[in-house]
Amino acid sequence: MAHGINMIPHNKPWITQDDRLAVDSILKSGWIAPGKQTFNLESEFQHYYDGGYSCAVSSGTAALFLALRGLGAEPGKEVALPTYACSALLNAINMTGATPKLVDVTPDTFTIDPDSLEKLAPNASIVIAIHTYGARANIESLRKFNVKIIEDCCHSLGGIHNGKTIGMDGDASIFSFYATKIITGGQGGLIWSNNKELIDEAHDYRNFDCRENYYPRFNFQLTDIQAAMINSQFKRLKDIVSRRYEIAQQYIKNLPSELIVQEGIESEGRMVYRFVIKASDNKERDALKEHLYKNRIKSIIPIERYELLHRYLGNEPEIFPVSEMLANTTLSIPIFPALTDEEVSHICNTLRSFKQ
């Protein structure tokens, strides 16, 4: 056991002096409601994607709800989504009144499987594709189905795939700035799209105040305190991507050969939001978790079996064999930029010593 290493958490936000100064300047200014900083965040995303439109909101779930609504989700419509996902997606769909249709994922990238989509959700008019843990979902193969596509970029912000920034190929992209995400303001979310009308509607919906007409709107606003912190972190996005990538490369070098990782995790520009290890079976996964814990490293099962969306909805597990397998065999280990070099090398040593 390494001495001097405290329990390493699974995740921890990276908050710098610049972040603190940015927040403090908003507190000092006396304007903490949505204002200049929120507007700046929206402009930053338009720079990042070299155009388009954006709307900053209070959470990723709110962003998803507004994207769904803007793309026509309503009672009688079907929305396809991977069952290997968090329940936020299901909540957003249910809020629109549309019917969720669950689909399995691929065993190599853990992203939505187009063949399963064809089989299980042939009538869906909208598909939510998550770039799971940073691995890009195959948007091109989803396009064949004549559906609207929402790219869920909560895990892929900063990622590049084949030289192109991830998140520009769907009809709308959504982001979360929750405490555990790539950049954070504690909470927060954003929608980006090339569809001006969709973004205009989102802007209209997020604020109820001072309106000449009435229909239900909701308070989905972000504060300038949150936006100031997110903007400050956004400036470090390149460093965040490269630090995560560099740590991942070290883990890969030290990983015993029977443990495998997501396809493409070593490709250039990859945002490694989570370093997820796939063991050969449930027993090996649990043994790895135990081995890490004994060495003061916290790991998590990124999506537990009971959390699979088809289990919440009471659908047959046999229809979703890959998601079931992933829930049984995967483990996520710490990979946040605030990890020290000493902690990274302790994690590497602990990985290398598994079963040896």
User: 183: which DSSP letter?
Assistant: S
d(CA 253, CA 262): 14
| Residue 154 touching ligand PLP (CB under 6 A) | yes
The closest residue (CB) to ligand PLP is 60
| Residue 61 touching ligand PLP (CB under 6 A) | yes
d(CA 167, CA 45): 11
CA atoms within 13 A on the CB side of 33: 2
| Residue 155 touching ligand PLP (CB under 6 A) | yes
Given the complex with ligand PLP, which of 168 and 344 has the nearer CB atom?
168
CB of 179 to ligand PLP, least distance (A): 9
Pairing of β 189-193 and β 172-176: antiparallel
Buried b (16+ CB within 10 A) or exposed e, 180-193: ebbbbbebbbbbbb
d(CA 141, CA 115): 9
Tell me how many residues contact ligand PLP (CB under 6 A). Answer: 12
| Residue 189 touching ligand PLP (CB under 6 A) | yes
The single residue among 37, 54, 59, 173 that binds ligand PLP, judged by CB under 6 A, is 59
Given the complex with ligand PLP, which of 154 and 322 has the nearer CB atom?
154
d(CA 212, CA 222): 23
**Which parts of 121-150 interact with ligand PLP (CB under 6 A)?**
130
Given the complex with ligand PLP, which of 103 and 351 has the nearer CB atom?
103
| Residue 295 touching ligand PLP (CB under 6 A) | no
Neighbours of 47 (CB within 10 A): 9
Given the complex with ligand PLP, which of 233 and 350 has the nearer CB atom?
233
What six digits make up the tokens of 157?
């912000």
Q: Which of 138, 192, 164, 130 is nearest to 269 (CA)?
A: 164
CB of 124 to ligand PLP, least distance (A): 18
| Stretch near ligand PLP under the rule CB under 6 A, chosen from 17-25, 57-65, 133-141, 235-243 | 57-65
Residues that bind ligand PLP (CB under 6 A): 59-61, 86, 88, 130, 152, 154-155, 176, 178, 189
